[in-house]
Amino acid sequence: MRHVTILGATGSIGINTLDVIRRHPDRFSVYALTANANVDEMARLCLEFQPRVAVMADPSAAEKLAEALSSRCNTQVLGGPEALCEVASAAQADTVMAAIVGAAGLPPTLAAVGAGKRVLLANKEALVMSGRLFMDAVQASGAELLPIDSEHNAIFQCLPPSMARDMGAAGVRRILLTASGGPFRSHSAEALREVSPAQACAHPNWSMGQKISVDSATLMNKGLELIEACWLFNTVPDNIEVHVHPESIIHSMVEYLDGSVLAQLGSPDMRTPIANGLAWPERIDAGVAPLDLFALGKFHFERPDLTRFPCLRLAAEAFKAGGTAPAVLNAANEEAVAAFLAEQLCFADIPVVIERTLAAMPVMPADDFDTIFLQDQLARAKAQEQIRRQLV
Ligand code: NAD
Ligand code: MG
């Protein structure tokens, strides 16, 4: 029996994780669920899954949750960001799904890593921000880090298990990272200035949280994933080629020196990589419908257009610059996306804000987490200046 904590239980990944867990009561029990402020959804989840602990990052939401649950279940309710780290490292759980969105997920994900858990990593921002420090922490604690991002889970499945961190020994030539291209793949540069948050969040193949949906539309999601792949698989951007594949059926590929290309295919349903991570190395039913290749008929591939979608280029450059640059990229992107969702910034200005923030912040060595958190805060302030400038 695996005892699971889900960080970000009320989100898209959290709900999909609970759906897989619900199908296998003999394999998984829920130790803790966490969320930010959505009390109604959390109350519903607590009543169904009866976790030992529920955490609301927002303390006033924790009070409301405690009231809502009162005598209806035995779940202990905690509040505040420190409580996230407490449940992430608690001895009662062996598996932690890291599915908080954005930089807020880094401290609890690190707490799970430090405690040597099986960490199912959906929260790519945590790894992008702290790259080498994060991977060093995994190595030091012996945590079992399994990728949940569909592309990285696909690559993981296409690599020999014992060699997932040593591309040379595994005989790998390249990683072919697939991308849907997002809802604006065919939009002109002019049309990109006019798109609304609702259009950006209507992804053609995947149903996801708002932030990652906007990231998919700008291709920053692929940029973050490029950095994520470099850290997870110990490689560099030059060994990774992004392939836009609008059908989102091939979730990524690994090309070997002998010319073999191994791919992982499946319906665009996050329950597949989630079930893979939860049960690894076993396979379990994820509730995903079988793939119907006859109905699909054809696959298409194109190169990404870095002129209309500069975010992918900015991410590759930030990884190459190293140090604190990826943390700055991530923070500026989070601020720009939030401003776009609040209709304070036009879609095409998201990369402008990020590029100017990166230009304004000297790259520093990322030798400790305090530096990362400080640069994250400074980058947010710089990005806000840029956002205000775009407004006038
Ligand atoms: P979401 O917005 O649907 O859910 C986010 C969750 O994080 C919610 O439970 C929310 O309560 C919690 N949260 C938000 N801010 C918080 C804070 N400050 N403190 C504590 N908790 C907070 O997001 P999602 O789509 O489920 O994505 C979660 C993560 O998984 C992201 O990093 C995303 O990039 C990654 N991911 C998602 C998908 C997908 O299909 N949705 C695919 C691959 C990777
Ligand atoms: Mg992905």
Q: Domains of the chain (ranges plus CATH)?
A: 2-147 (3.40.50.720), 155-222+236-296 (no CATH), 322-391 (1.10.1740.10)
CA distance 16 to 362: 40
Q: Any bridge partners for residue 4, and if so which?
A: 30, 95
Residue whose CA is at the smallest distance from ligand 1 atom 5: 11
Query: What does each of the 392 residues of the chain score in pLDDT, given as a tens digit?
Result: 999 999 999 999 999 999 999 999 999 999 999 999 999 999 999 999 999 999 999 999 999 999 999 888 899 999 999 999 999 999 999 999 999 999 999 999 999 999 999 999 999 999 999 999 999 999 999 999 999 999 999 999 999 987 677 888 899 999 999 999 999 999 999 999 999 999 999 988 888 999 999 999 999 999 999 999 999 999 999 999 999 999 999 999 999 999 999 999 999 999 999 999 999 999 999 999 999 999 999 999 999 999 999 999 999 999 999 999 999 999 999 999 999 999 999 999 999 999 999 999 999 999 999 999 999 999 999 999 999 988 66
User: Which residue owns the Cα nearest ligand 1 atom 23?
Assistant: 209
DSSP of 219-269, one letter per residue?
THHHHHHHHHHHHHTT--GGGEEEEE-TT--EEEEEEETTS-EEEEE--S-
Structure tokens belonging to residue 244: 């836009």
315 lines ligand 1 (CB under 6 A): no
Q: Which atom of ligand 1 is nearest to the CA of 150?
A: 43
Nearest CA to ligand 1 atom 42: 149
- pLDDT for residue 313: 98
Q: Which atom of ligand 1 is found nearest the CA of 9? A: 9
Sheet holding 95-98, edge to edge: 76-79, 53-56, 28-35, 2-7, 95-98, 118-121, 144-147
**C-alpha distances out from residue 261 to 83, 106, 267, 296, 381, Å:** 44, 34, 20, 21, 44
Residue 372 Cα, ligand 2 centroid: separation in angstroms?
A: 24
Closest listed ligand to the CA of 226: 2
User: Any idea which ligand is nearest the CA of 207?
Assistant: 1
Cα–Cα dist 254/267, whole Å: 19
With tokens 């995903």, the residue in question is: 288
Distance CA 104, CA 126 (A): 8
Q: How far is the CA of 357 from the centre of ligand 2 (A)?
A: 25
Give the closest ligand to the alpha carbon of residue 251.
2
**Distance from residue 149's CA to the centre of ligand 2 (Å):** 5
Residue 225 CA to ligand 1 centre (angstroms):
15
Q: How far is the CA of 43 from the centre of ligand 2 (A)?
A: 29
Q: Is 209 in the pocket of ligand 1 (CB under 6 A)?
A: yes
pLDDT at 392: 62
Q: Say which residue the tokens 């804000």 belong to.
A: 353
Tokens 């619900």 locate to 22
Starting from the CA of residue 210, give the closest ligand. 1
Supply the residue whose CA is at minimum distance from atom 20 of ligand 1: 36
User: Does residue 328 line the site of ligand 1, with CB under 6 A?
Assistant: no
Ligand 1 binding pocket includes 120 (Cβ within 6 Å): no
Closest CA to 28 of 278, 234, 263: 278
Q: Three-state DSSP class for 164?
A: coil
Sheet holding 261-265, edge to edge: 240-244, 172-179, 250-256, 261-265
- The residues facing 7 across adjacent strands are 34, 98
Tell me, using a 6 A CB cutoff, whether residue 100 lines ligand 1.
Answer: yes
Atom of ligand 1 nearest to the CA of 108: 20
Quick check: CB of 101 below 6 Å from ligand 1? yes
- Ligand 1: residue whose CA is nearest its atom 4: 11
Ligand 1 centroid, distance to 212 Cα (angstroms)? 8
Residue type at position 178: T
**Dist CA 50 CA 44 (whole Å):** 10
Tell me how far the alpha carbon of residue 85 lies from the centroid of ligand 1, in angstroms. 16
* CB of 104 closer than 6 angstroms to any ligand 1 atom: yes
Q: In 351-361, which positions are buried (b, 16+ CB within 10 angstroms) versus exposed (e)?
A: bbbbbbbbeeb
**Which DSSP helix (H) or strand (E) runs through 106?**
helix 106-114
124 lines ligand 1 (CB under 6 A): yes
Report CA(12)–ligand 1 centroid distance (Å).
7
Query: For residue 155, which ligand has an atom nearest its CA?
Result: 2
